[in-house]
Amino acid sequence: MLRAVLSSTGWLDRTGDFARAMRISTRHQGGLMLVGTPDDEPWHLAAHLDEESRWSAVPELLPTLVRWAPPADAPPHLRVGLDRLAAARRGETLVVVSQEVAPVPLLERVDDARRTGATILSSPSTARSTWSARPPGGRWCPGPGCGPGWPACSTPSAAARSRTRAFLPPYPLLPRTRVVGGADEMHNTGMTWTRYVAIGDSFTEGLGDPDPATPGGWRGWADRLAESLAQRTDDFTYANLAVRGRLLGRIVDEQLPEALDLEPELVSMSGGGNDLLRPGADVDAVGALLDEAVGRLRGAGIDVILFTGADPAESPVIRRLRGRIAAYNEHIHAIASARGAFVVDLWTMPVLRDWRMWHEDRLHMSSAGHRRVTMAVLETLGLPVEATWRDPLPPLPELRLTARLLRETRWARTYFAPWLVRHLRGRSSGDHVTAKRPALTPLSLR
């Protein structure tokens, strides 16, 4: 009866979204933290999550209540103070509950937890107060009025506010879970998908990662991801519509409709990088086009994976576009937050600054780079990954100046000059290339 009454309000769907967001972002027991204000600690939410964790046998949902002034004689689980937030890390989740403007010390700690990789979830009202204003120096101020001792504040962009993720996204994340056994042995084995479609450009096509099973062909992170997903479910099928050199407009006009026609459960979409390489690229326009595409996918009930651009700080040429790429990344984070999509944040992967992660052309990733990206996607989806996948490679000996000059000259002659000539002539490396997997078909596991 109650479910029928609430079905038309959207409340049930939003509650499910909240639960799935916590389940996906929290990777270990003790990693789900709840914090409120000094006058209003979220005891009821903690009690409900404790009960749900035990009933559903999901230890990751067992909450840690973070308190402002825990009594010294309280039990250990009720004696966790704000210092716990300083230890937050990737794979942990902080749920912020505040009906009014949150205190400044809490806002600072929330921002620090986000910077160390923790996922921040909040109610819409909390998100508004948490992102009310920040001074140019990056620390928090109490609100629009600031007050004595605080520098002038400016209203943050939608992209900046998206860093704190409201737990009521307008587009639901689809539940892809398996329940094994009866009521007494019910447990969640993680999210699974049976129909996966990849769309995009050379990054998704897999350039730089030779496919040993197909002479002259490319494998890439998307194929590697599909192989991993196929091991988790029966009847898995996969299509890859990506074509090298494609601008985002052609991805949206050509690949997106084909992907929708395949009726997938999961779509990865990476595009816009080629647009940003063009002189005078309009980052806002590219972001708006991506938002429209993700909206169409999410409106069809499809889970979506997006990617930020990698940090080009070490690239002598592309680092000139670093600000443009960073601005586009902010669009991607904002779109993912508003639409309820997954984001694989390549910008925050220091290992990708190692040139051994890249092909000799310095535009595409090597096999090692594609493998690391696969691990990042799996981690973002909340699936098991190797514990050491983020570890850096052993350092290489320093090259002499003459060797470095020879290397740069060879790269410019072999890769950069042909790329520049092709673009000046308005041609693309993908002009005569078609999708390598145009239909959903089963995989041959390696």
Split at pLDDT 50, 70, 90, the class of 187 is very low
Give the DSSP letter of residue 37: B
Provide mean pLDDT across the span 160-175: 32
Ramachandran region, residue 225 (left: φ > 0; alpha: ψ -120 to 50; beta: rest): alpha
- The mean predicted confidence, pLDDT, of the chain is 77
Contacts of range 311-317, beta carbons closer than 8 Å, 24 or more positions apart: 311/346, 311/347, 311/352, 311/353, 313/353, 314/353, 314/355, 315/362, 316/408, 317/362, 317/416
Assigned CATH for 2-166: 3.40.50
In three-state secondary structure terms, 399 is coil
Instruction: State the residue for tokens 């002598």.
Output: 316
pLDDT of residue 353 exceeding 50: yes
State the CATH architecture for 177-441.
3-Layer(aba) Sandwich (3.40)
* pLDDT tens per residue across span 2-27: 566 666 666 666 676 677 677 767 87
Q: Cα separations (Å) of 340 from 151, 163, 207, 252, 261? A: 34, 13, 29, 19, 21
204-248 pLDDT per residue, tens: 999 888 888 887 788 999 999 999 999 988 889 999 999 988 999
pLDDT digits (tens, 9 = 90+) for 119-154: 788 755 454 444 333 333 333 333 333 333 323 333
Task: Please list the helix, strand and coil fractions of the chain in percent, rounded to the nearest 5, in that order.
Answer: 45, 15, 45
Q: Please report the pLDDT score of residue 223 as a whole number.
A: 96
Is residue 307 within 8 Å of residue 270, measured between CB atoms? yes
Q: What is the pLDDT of residues 246-288, one digit of tens each?
A: 999 999 999 999 999 999 999 999 999 899 988 889 999 999 9
Q: What is the pLDDT of residue 142?
A: 32
For residue 382, give every residue at least 6 positions away whose Cβ sits within 8 Å of its Cβ, in sequence order, or none: 23, 24, 25, 27, 190, 191
pTM for the predicted model, two decimal places: 0.58
- The least confident of 156-170, 264-278, 328-342, 381-395 is 156-170
Let me know: does 51 contact 124? Beta carbons within 8 Å.
no
* Whole-number Å distance between alpha carbons of 281 and 312: 17
Of residues 294 and 175, the one with the higher pLDDT is 294
Q: Where are the domains of the chain?
A: 2-166, 177-441
